[in-house]
Structure 1
Amino acid sequence: MDTRIEAAGQTGRRAPAPDMDRVEVVAPNLKRRLSGVTSTIIQLVPLQAEMLGIATLGPGLPDSLPRMRWWQVFALLKRPASGRKRIWHARRNTEMVAGLVLKTLFRAPLKLVFTSAAQRDHRPFTKWLIRRMDAVIATSARSGGFLDVPHTVIMHGVDLEEFHPPRSGGDAFSASALPGKYAVGCFGRVRHQKGTDLFVDSMIELLPHYPDWTAVIAGRVTAEQKAFGDELESRVAKAGLSDRVVFLGEVPDIKPWYRRVSLYVAPSRNEGFGLTPLEAMASQTAVVASDAGAYAEMIVPGVTGSVVAAGDGDALTEAIRPYLADPALAEAHGVNALAHVTEHFPLQREAAAIRTIYDQVWAQG
């Protein structure tokens, strides 16, 4: 996901400043560091812009999005041409604070909406902020369980045009020039939280028994995680599997790799939401995942993949084993996964559900 966000953030021609008389929703992104929230805004806003007047505000976003300039913040002190109060859709504490400051101190005519992905008990200050929102969205039933206020669950969707089944020879694993007939992948930042070590240990256990398979690990290793990454590569080398557990590092485009692997593994110890299983399933790839984030709410066990307890390396290994033993099972579950995501997780469905929340907020007056 990191490479996809960065690619989206690369600048092209900068869109002109939006006409604030037409902007009825502001999607702030008050954090420079790229994150899952940034990715959500990048994906959703173009779809939302087809339904209503919306603009982003803040750094770290691609120039192609409708972006308010900082001097246009003053325009929030009056209503748009529609006469309705603007919606300020926050996804972080800082953005809730900014919305409250604008609304209470500067008397900006705003309605405040907050989306929560956190799967932990919120701190008192965060709870105080959430209680002052006009509407609250949870990205999963699990995250909603940590909210003390009425809320609506709207799970993230996936762009089915960007993530799709194999369409050409370049989408076949053979195009990678790596050894073996089949591949199992694990993508994302290489770090303890993401469970990359659990995946490596499973591969060291399993691959000697399944010579047709190769493991592919793709994702950034930050300076802070270099020792962790080096240690994983050392483990693989000691097991004599350096040619079959391949560390690609950060790749320019991860999407073809979802199509090349027959099985995707998401072994995170904890997540906020976690989009990679949806991206894999949209690519017609079966998924084995931990129950971190919203993974368990995406996968139909025995139909599209398998779910195991987060942090349980032995359970992860045993969940992966049947797919390596029977590639036809991976293929069948991949087909089921695509059908499941197409029905339940298209990005358009998420955008439409959020629009419904906006309409409910506006109906309150």
Structure 2
Amino acid sequence: MDRALRNLQEIEVIVANLKRRHTGVTSTIMALLPEQTKRLQIAALGPKLPAQWPRITWSDLLRHGFRPPRGKRLRIWHARRNLEALTGIILRSLLGMPLKLVFTSAAQRHHSRWTQWLLRQMDAVVATSPETANYLPVPAKIIFHGVDTARFSPAEDREREWRASGLPGRFGIAVFGRVRHQKGTDLFIQAMCRLLPQSPDFTAVIIGAMTADKYRFASQLKSIIAAAGLSDRIRFLGERPAAEIPLWFRRVSIVVAPQRWEGFGLVPLEAMASGGAVVATRVGAAHHVIADEHTGYLVSPGDLEALVHRLGILMRDPQLTLAMGQCGRAHVVNHFSIEREAGELERVYKSCWEGSDPSPHR
């Protein structure tokens, strides 16, 4: 018997995750579900869900979804992608399921007419930052993402954790995310090619998927590394299992988030929660998350010189790196916990059930 399967009659909130590939949305749901299950009868729906997620099946939904959950008139359908919003509309408006539709948007860009239409069909919209809310055609409740500060926590001995990786040097510096121009992987490589010859105790790692359409980009980066004679000290580790990611955050001393653009950006939060020093570009919600020169460093997107300068300061000063990581950890615990995010989402759901307006923005 699959213990993760839930009885739909008990489920108050369905979290749609209809994309097969692991994305930032998947990470968001993965962080939230354990906390939300303490507060709500909640389950995910979609393909290739992690085994530990509480979930329902399509067959169960189509057989029993026309009855509301016990004690409620309506069930919440929480979407984070256009496909999931459209699916919710079909289930509610065409099939007649008793659903309230909630959508979370992290995108900081002008939306297509199609997306705007989908958003107008929602009963509540959540934006992950004020900047995101300003691009939406409807009022939104602003709820910053949080991080599980138990799952992402500092190592007792970071140098020992790094030695356990089997990689050279005393300290690690990393970039997390898919290998692509948007993520700034090339900026990280260029910065490392300039800094590592002066910092023999460091090894750099790139942790993230390398998709087929980016092989040429990745090959160019590997050629740059080889030409600099740093192939042993700049390592592509590929996509790691989700359960392994917190370990790598505990191992590395510095995390770089050099994105050229981003929706929200969870990496700085996860790194800070893990006690790592962070250098990030001012994209997504980074300037809301990081107090510049206190809990991390902020640089302009695409500014290689500023990136090299800030990273050089940290790589030359292990005590500053440690202190900045400690400040970052305290900041996340106090202001960006997953418990806070789950609590604010619960209030949005309750507003939907009660029929009040959960989206006061604008």
Report the residue type matching 2:46 in the other structure. G
- What is the CA–CA distance in structure 2 between the aligned matches of 1:172 and 1:152, rounded to whole Å? 40
- Alignment partner of 1:254: what SS? helix
Per-residue deviation, residues 148-184 of structure 1 (Å, max 9, x unmatched): 2211111111112211111257753333343333332
1:358 and 2:349 aligned: yes
- Give the % identical residues: 49
Partner of 1:48: 36
- What is the CA–CA distance in structure 2 between the aligned matches of 1:343 and 1:229, rounded to whole Å? 38
- What is the CA–CA distance in structure 1 between the aligned matches of 2:27 and 2:245, rounded to whole Å? 14
Structure 2 stretches lacking a partner, 5+ long: 357-362
Offset, 1:239: 1.4
Q: What is the aligned counterpart of 1:290 among 281, 286, 291?
A: 281
Offset, 1:16: 5.7
Report the residue type matching 2:284 in the other structure. G
Report the residue type matching 2:119 in the other structure. I
- Alignment partner of 2:334: what SS? helix
Report the residue type matching 1:80 in the other structure. P
**Which stretch of the first structure deviates more once superposed, 89-98 or 329-338?**
89-98
- Structure 2 matches for 1:204-215, cutoff 5 A? 204-215=193-204
1:33 and 2:21 aligned: yes
- Alignment partner of 2:10: what SS? coil
Report the residue type matching 1:29 in the other structure. N
Partner of 2:339: 348
Report the residue type matching 1:52 in the other structure. L
- What is the CA–CA distance in structure 1 between the aligned matches of 2:222 and 2:191, rounded to whole Å? 14
Gap change, CA 1:225 and 1:171, over 3 Å in 2:
farther
Partner of 1:15: 3
- Alignment partner of 1:21: what SS? helix
- Alignment partner of 2:101: what SS? strand
Partner of 2:90: 101
Offset, 1:254: 2.8
Gap change, CA 1:140 and 1:78, over 3 Å in 2:
same
Report the residue type matching 1:361 in the other structure. C
Offset, 1:41: 2.0
Partner of 1:3: none
Gap change, CA 1:208 and 1:65, over 3 Å in 2:
closer
- Alignment partner of 2:8: what SS? coil
Partner of 1:189: 178
1:169–1:175 contact (8 Å) kept in structure 2:
no
Gap change, CA 1:129 and 1:211, over 3 Å in 2:
same
1:15–1:67 contact (8 Å) kept in structure 2:
no
2:15–2:77 contact (8 Å) kept in structure 1:
yes
- What is the CA–CA distance in structure 2 between the aligned matches of 1:268 and 1:344, rounded to whole Å? 23
Count residues with an aligned counterpart: 353
Partner of 1:307: 298
**Which stretch of the first structure deviates more once superposed, 102-111 or 344-353?**
102-111
Partner of 2:235: 246
Gap change, CA 1:31 and 1:144, over 3 Å in 2:
same
1:222 and 2:235 aligned: no
Q: What is the aligned counterpart of 1:323 among 285, 305, 314?
A: 314
- What is the CA–CA distance in structure 1 between the aligned matches of 2:160 and 2:266, rounded to whole Å? 21
- Alignment partner of 1:18: what SS? coil
Partner of 1:231: 220
- Alignment partner of 1:304: what SS? coil
**Which stretch of the first structure deviates more once superposed, 330-339 or 104-113?**
104-113
Per-residue deviation, residues 289-328 of structure 1 (Å, max 9, x unmatched): 1122222221110111111122222221122121122222
Gap change, CA 1:136 and 1:250, over 3 Å in 2:
closer
Q: CA RMSD in A?
A: 1.9
Partner of 2:359: none
Per-residue deviation, residues 88-115 of structure 1 (Å, max 9, x unmatched): 1111111111222222222222111110
1:126 and 2:115 aligned: yes
Offset, 1:244: 2.5
- Alignment partner of 1:201: what SS? helix
2:175–2:206 contact (8 Å) kept in structure 1:
yes
- What is the CA–CA distance in structure 2 between the aligned matches of 1:359 and 1:89, rounded to whole Å? 13
Report the residue type matching 1:27 in the other structure. V
- What is the CA–CA distance in structure 2 between the aligned matches of 1:280 and 1:68, rounded to whole Å? 32
Offset, 1:255: 2.2
Structure 1 stretches lacking a partner, 5+ long: 1-12
- What is the CA–CA distance in structure 2 between the aligned matches of 1:234 and 1:16, rounded to whole Å? 46
Report the residue type matching 1:118 in the other structure. A
Gap change, CA 1:333 and 1:53, over 3 Å in 2:
same
1:184–1:265 contact (8 Å) kept in structure 2:
yes
- What is the CA–CA distance in structure 1 between the aligned matches of 2:281 and 2:248, rounded to whole Å? 20
Report the residue type matching 1:99 in the other structure. G
Gap change, CA 1:203 and 1:41, over 3 Å in 2:
same
Per-residue deviation, residues 35-61 of structure 1 (Å, max 9, x unmatched): 221222222223212212112211121
